[in-house]
């Protein structure tokens, strides 16, 4: 059990995403140099922006900036007016565009469109945020795939902080196809025993109190409190809800930090990992499309 040596009074250590994201950026820059040397080409990422949502615009611009700094050819593809037909047409064009290795469709799509409308349109080989039905299926089957960037980033955080996963009991709160479900698949693939909880789970604490690792992907600030976990549990919080007091995770940070051994801060935990994982997967897609192996 992970919790044996951890006292109840202990302040949790932070699973800080910033230094890990920085290390991943450096590794990606090194591999990109190798790709350029081998192919004479620059990997390309296209971000499909089909919404006027200002937060999505900010996220896209930030991803473009990070990508360009690392040497990617990144661009935003704004689709206006955004209808299922125009979004499909743009994705299909990008599927055929040889300069594009990765396609990220910025969420949320404008209602009534949803991820299911594009899940079969985006080429699985360019689907660097793991939303296509092929990638979702491959992740669930434990096959090589591009998992969605957010859960893969959280998984990578655990691995790089040396948190044992095999044999641990992991409770995931949330079952969306973009966060909860793929995170559960990744943990299962790494030999954790996994339970997924959702809104219809009666008595959530009955499950979370038994968990060695609790992953939160509900979008409900304060959902998990310190009395709902066992001493020494590890808490990975994917929740990011804008509130009057800033961005909030699903954990009640104060009370959970008194009981957990490790906890992701919000912001600064899983969030910083997402962009760099998208870029990392874009580079991987670029290698794979040319039949090249990364070392
Ligand atoms: P979502 O599609 O709304 O799914 C939320 C899931 O949580 C659903 O499965 C829902 O259950 C479950 N849930 C909600 N309230 C619950 C409760 N009180 N008890 C138990 N389960 C509950 O959200 P999402 O897209 O997965 O996003 C989840 C969170 O992650 C959000 O805060 C989002 O902003 C954040 N996020 C973060 C990143 C990042 O980079 N860190 C990226 C993407 C998303 P039902 O299925 O029964 O409705």
Which tens digits make up the pLDDT trace of 249-282? 999 999 999 999 999 999 999 999 999 999 999 9
Q: Is 220 in the pocket of ligand 1 (CB under 6 A)?
A: yes
- What is the pLDDT, as a whole number, of residue 135? 96
Segment 5-28, tens digit of pLDDT: 444 455 899 999 999 999 999 999
- What is the pLDDT, as a whole number, of residue 294? 75
Best of 199, 216, 222, 235 to mutate for ligand 1, by most ligand atoms within 8 A of CB? Answer: 199
Helix (H, G, I), strand (E, B) or coil at 198: coil
Structural domains in the chain plus CATH codes: 42-123 (3.40.50.10860), 149-272 (3.40.50.720)
Q: Is 56 in the pocket of ligand 1 (CB under 6 A)?
A: no
Q: Is 198 in the pocket of ligand 1 (CB under 6 A)?
A: yes
CA–CA dist 160, 20 (Å, integer): 7
For the segment 95-113, the average pLDDT, to the nearest whole number, is 95
For the segment 16-45, the average pLDDT, to the nearest whole number, is 97
pLDDT mean across residues, the chain: 95
- What is the pLDDT, as a whole number, of residue 87? 96
Beta bridge partners of 46: 75, 103
Segment 212-247, tens digit of pLDDT: 999 999 999 999 999 999 999 999 999 999 999 999
- What is the pLDDT, as a whole number, of residue 293? 80
The DSSP letter of residue 270 is S
Q: What angle do CA 81, 85, 88 make, to 5 degrees?
A: 105
Q: Is 150 in the pocket of ligand 1 (CB under 6 A)?
A: yes
**Residue 41 alpha carbon to ligand 1 centre in Å:** 38
Q: Where are the beta strands (DSSP E) in the chain?
A: 13-14, 44-49, 73-78, 102-105, 169-173, 193-197, 213-216, 234-237, 241-243, 246-248, 262-263
For residue 129, how many C-alpha atoms fall within 13 Å in the half-sphere facing its CB? Answer: 23
Q: Is 200 in the pocket of ligand 1 (CB under 6 A)?
A: yes
Does the pLDDT at position 71 exceed 90? yes
Cα distances (angstroms) measured from residue 198 to each of 5, 31, 133, 173, 220: 31, 39, 22, 6, 12
């Amino acid at each position: 059990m992970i919790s044996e040596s951890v006292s109840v009074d202990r302040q949790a250590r932070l699973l800080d995403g910033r230094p890990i994201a920085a290390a991943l950026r450096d590794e990606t820059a090194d591999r990109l140099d190798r790709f350029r040397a081998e192919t004479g080409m620059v990997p390309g990422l296209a971000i499909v922006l089909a919404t006027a949502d200002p937060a999505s615009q900010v996220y896209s611009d930030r991803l473009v900036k990070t990508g360009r700094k690392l040497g990617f050819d990144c661009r935003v593809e704004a689709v206006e007016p955004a209808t299922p037909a125009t979004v499909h047409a743009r994705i299909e064009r990008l599927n055929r565009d040889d300069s594009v290795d990765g396609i990220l469709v910025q969420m949320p799509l404008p209602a009534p469109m949803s991820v299911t409308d594009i899940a079969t349109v985006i080429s699985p080989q360019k689907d660097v945020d793991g939303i296509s039905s092929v990638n979702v299926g491959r992740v669930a089957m434990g096959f090589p795939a591009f998992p969605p960037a957010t859960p893969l980033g959280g998984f990578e955080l655990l691995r790089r902080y040396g948190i044992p996963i095999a044999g641990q009991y992991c409770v995931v709160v949330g079952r969306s196809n973009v966060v909860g479900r793929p995170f559960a698949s990744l943990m299962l693939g790494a030999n954790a025993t996994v339970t997924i909880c959702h809104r219809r789970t009666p008595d959530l604490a009955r499950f979370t109190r038994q968990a060695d690792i609790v992953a939160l992907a509900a979008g409900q600030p304060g959902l998990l409190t310190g009395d709902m976990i066992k001493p020494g549990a590890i808490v990975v919080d994917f929740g990011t809800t804008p509130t009057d007091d800033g961005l909030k995770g699903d954990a009640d940070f104060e009370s959970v930090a008194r009981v957990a051994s490790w906890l992701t801060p919000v912001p600064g935990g899983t969030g910083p990992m997402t962009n760099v994982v998208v870029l990392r997967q874009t580079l991987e897609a670029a290698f794979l499309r040319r039949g090249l192996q990364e070392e």
